[in-house]
Every structure is written in structure tokens, then in C-alpha cells.
């Protein structure tokens, strides 16, 4: 009995290449996705504006430096303003006094001291710049201006009182009347005593407004 002849097989079946057929290299995948890029994903996008960073970066800009000034010129102008303000203060004080009464009635006012102080503060700030030392000088000069204005104003009032009295008695009495300058410079001690007797708390309060106005005006103008 014959057996079916079979072709001998090689061990392990048909020879195969190691690892099977060579495969094509897979295409590079987009980062963050799988497979074929879907619409809207994987395509290059337009560059975005960089977001502002907080808590770092460049330091804040330095505050603006005050404009330079001339201290000597500022002090000189403030002294001139002091003399002018003192004279105007005295003239206004004398003009508002009623010298026909006995004793004469003197009217105190606050706005004159404020105007004098503001005038001095303006001169200091415009010419001296942002200088706090000059503000102090302006405050002292403003107080001196109203003080001199008070005293010279009283000298003018006393001159008017003596002139009215000399006109009443007639004769050569009018030639003996002292001028305002003579009362202020030659009889300053008597003028000082008379002023202190007539002054009250309101007088000193109104005088204190002048240096306050000087500093306030200088501060506002220097910070513009």
C-alpha cells in the first residue's frame, strides 16, 4: 500500500523575514493629539499678543523732580513783597478806622492778612521752586508783614487823631502834629504800648492767617 508523498516542509514553515514585512515609518504626530489632525487642531496658529506680566518687569518711573529755582532771587522778591504788603495793610487799616470818634474805632479784618501772605507765598514759589526751606522763610516774612502793617497802621491812625484834635483847637497846633514816620521811628515804644492795649485775641488770630496763607500758596503753586 502506497503512502501519499508529501513534500518535506522546511522547519518552521515558510521562511519569514525577521519581524515580518518592513513597515513604513509612522508619520510624526502632532503634540497633544492623535491620528489625523482634525479641523481646527494641529494647524499653525497666528501668534498671540504677549500677556502683561505683573509683579516684575521694569521698576516704576521715578517721581518728577521739582523745577529748579533761584533761592536768593526768591528771598529778595519775598522781602519786597513783605514791604509792599505791610504798607498796603497799614493803609487799609488806617482807611477803615473811624478817627472822628473818641477813642477812635479800629476795624479788624482777616482777608488783608490772607492776601499779604498769599502774595509772599507766590513770590517764593514762582522764583524759588519746590523748596520747603523757602516756604518757612515766606511764612516768617508774612507774619512780619502783618505785624509791621499793624504797627504802621496804628501810627497813621494816631497821626489822623492828632490832626483832628489840632484842627479843633486851631492856632499853631497843627504844626506840632507828628507825622506817621516820626511816630513809628522816633516813638516806637509808645506806639508799641498803645497797640498792645488795643489788641485782642481776634487781632492775633487774623495775624496768624498770613503765614498759613503763605505756606498754602507756595505749596499749591510748587505742586502744579
Q: How many CA atoms lie within 13 A of 67 on its CB side?
A: 10
Check if the beta carbon of residue 155 is closer than 8 Å to that of residue 183.
Answer: yes
Domain ranges of the chain: 71-222
For 178, phi and psi rounded to 5 degrees?
A: -75, 145
The single residue listed with the C-alpha cell 488783608 is 112
For residue 36, what is the DSSP state?
S
Highest mean pLDDT among 3-7, 59-63, 84-88: 84-88
CA distance 120 to 122: 5
* Residue 148, phi-psi category: left (phi > 0), alpha (psi -120 to 50), beta (remainder): alpha
For the four alpha carbons of 10, 11, 13 and 18, in that order, the dihedral sign comes to negative
Question: How many CB atoms neighbour CB 151 within 10 A?
Answer: 19
More confident site: 105 or 85? 85
pLDDT tens per residue across span 202-212 = 999 999 999 99
Secondary structure, 3-state, 65-134 = CCCCCCHHHHHHHHHHHHHHHHHHHHHHHHHCCECCCCCCECCCCCHHHHHHHHHHHHHHHHHHCCCHHH
**Whole-prediction pTM:** 0.69
Q: How confident is the model at residue 100 (pLDDT cuts 50, 70, 90)?
A: confident
For 183-206, letters b (16+ CB in 10 Å) and e give bbeeeeeebeebbeeeeeeebeeb
Q: What is the mean pLDDT of the chain?
A: 81
Q: Which residues pair with 105 in a beta bridge?
A: 98
Q: How confident is the model at residue 1 (pLDDT cuts 50, 70, 90)?
A: very low
Place of cell 492828632: 162
Q: Is the pLDDT of residue 57 over 60?
A: no
Identify the pLDDT of residue 169.
85
Alpha-carbon distance of 148 to 86, in angstroms, equals 6
Q: Is the pLDDT of residue 80 over 60?
A: yes
Q: Is pLDDT larger for residue 11 or for residue 196?
A: 196
Amino acid at each position: 500500500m502506497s503512502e501519499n508523498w508529501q513534500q518535506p516542509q522546511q522547519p518552521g514553515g515558510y521562511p519569514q523575514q525577521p519581524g515580518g514585512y518592513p513597515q513604513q515609518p509612522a508619520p510624526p504626530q502632532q503634540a497633544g493629539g492623535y491620528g489625523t489632525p482634525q479641523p481646527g487642531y494641529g494647524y499653525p496658529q497666528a501668534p498671540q499678543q504677549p500677556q502683561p506680566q505683573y509683579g516684575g518687569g521694569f521698576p516704576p518711573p521715578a517721581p518728577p523732580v521739582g523745577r529748579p529755582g533761584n533761592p536768593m532771587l526768591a528771598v529778595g522778591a519775598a522781602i519786597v513783597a513783605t514791604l509792599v504788603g505791610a504798607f498796603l495793610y497799614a493803609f487799609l487799616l488806617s482807611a477803615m478806622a473811624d478817627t472822628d470818634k473818641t477813642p477812635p474805632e479800629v476795624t479788624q479784618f482777616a482777608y488783608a492778612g490772607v492776601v499779604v501772605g498769599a502774595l509772599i507765598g507766590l513770590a517764593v514759589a514762582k522764583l524759588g521752586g519746590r523748596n520747603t526751606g523757602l516756604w518757612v522763610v515766606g511764612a516768617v516774612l508774612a507774619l512780619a508783614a502783618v505785624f509791621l502793617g499793624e504797627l504802621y497802621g496804628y501810627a497813621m491812625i494816631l497821626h489822623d487823631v492828632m490832626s483832628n484834635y489840632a484842627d479843633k483847637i486851631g492856632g499853631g497846633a497843627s504844626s506840632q502834629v507828628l507825622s506817621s514816620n516820626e511816630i513809628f521811628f522816633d516813638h516806637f515804644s509808645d506806639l508799641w504800648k498803645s497797640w498792645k492795649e488795643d489788641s485782642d485775641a481776634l487781632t492775633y488770630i487774623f495775624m496768624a492767617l498770613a503765614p498759613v496763607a503763605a505756606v498754602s500758596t507756595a505749596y499749591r503753586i510748587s505742586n502744579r
